[in-house]
Structure 1
């Protein structure tokens, strides 16, 4: 029984058979999905909203104002985390049976740190996109400069060959 090494192309390739003669003959792109959709038996939504800590049942340790100073609050939570870890070490030495409360405190600080960092993701995505676009612009300008300098060197080279 012989089988093909590669599977056949999907049937929608026929929609593009006249592309070489008429590039406008291809079908329209499907509209973007809005709202909820199902993927791999799971319901997902296109609204990427970070749920608040209260919605997750976690106590918020930093101010609930809209303009949070992330640097200050992350530093504060980091110091608090270090303090709780030192307290945990002390409790493990002095009173080992009382470690659970300290571990819960550390878990709470980690959840707050994690939430603060996740709220910075949109800013990180914008900054990354800006950086990538600046690099692409720089590379393209460099490529144009290389082409221009290559043309000059080719002209100089051809002149030097024509001279006696």
Structure 2
């Protein structure tokens, strides 16, 4: 099969050089890269390899330019907004509609919708009178749909902008909620510290009002005070949760 026939076929065969991607060739290419003291992402110059070396097919080609074929369709490497005239389709609306202001675009979309319904009704009547002429109406309906689709695509930049705005608003709301949660946690911690300070002050005052009569009594009093402080501390922790 010729190269052009293979490229334009519905299901073309893989490129012929895929058979060179073997483990031996990949290992040889890595060794050649190390020999040239190149990094992992550094390109290997093709002139450093012999012309008849199969390793030539393992080096990626330069970026493509112009047009290319894929499954019988021609595509352009350069992204561009293809208009109806470029695609060979009749334009049914005023060219000023493609300007950034979208008020007139809505009017044209409504007008095309009414034309679409009218042509559909005419197609139904034509099928009952002369079905052989259905192709003319189908072509008219197809042109109207292409024009409507092209006008709707003019809203793509607006859709992308609004989507970004919604994402930024969601992130802002998330940050605000996290900030509010942090403030609430800080407030609870401050309240717990104030309560702990008050309890400690209360314990010190009670200790000053209850002097011990002997060493043994003093030890007993210290244990009671320790139990009391522990109980008050656990009570404070339970209230803070």
Q: Take 2:165 and 2:64, find their aligned partners in 1: how far apart are those partners?
A: 28
Residue in structure 1 matching 2:80, options 49, 63, 66: 49
Q: Take 1:159 and 1:122, find their aligned partners in 2: how far apart are those partners?
A: 56
Offset, 1:12:
4.2
Q: Take 1:140 and 1:12, find their aligned partners in 2: how far apart are those partners?
A: 40
Is residue 59 from structure 1 mapped to residue 90 from structure 2 by the alignment?
yes
Q: Take 1:74 and 1:81, find their aligned partners in 2: how far apart are those partners?
A: 10
In structure 2, the residue matched to 1:113 is 148
Offset, 1:43:
5.7
Offset, 1:145:
1.2
Q: Take 1:35 and 1:149, find their aligned partners in 2: how far apart are those partners?
A: 57
TM-score, scaled to structure 2 = 0.47
Q: How does 1:14-163 map to 2 (within 5 A)?
A: 36=65, 44-45=77-78, 48-65=79-96, 66-67=98-99, 69-157=104-192, 159-160=194-195, 163=199
Task: Give RMSD over aligned pairs.
Answer: 3.1
Q: Take 1:52 and 1:116, find their aligned partners in 2: how far apart are those partners?
A: 10
Tell me the SS of whatever aligns to 1:59.
coil
Offset, 1:53:
0.8
Give 1 or 2: higher helix fraction. Answer: 2
Structure 1 unaligned blocks of 5 or more: 1-10, 14-33
The alignment covers a number of residue pairs equal to 132
Provide runs of 4+ in structure 1 moved above 3 Å: 34-39, 157-164
Distance 1:141 1:35, change over 3 A: farther
Q: Take 1:158 and 1:94, find their aligned partners in 2: how far apart are those partners?
A: 91
TM-score, scaled to structure 1 = 0.67
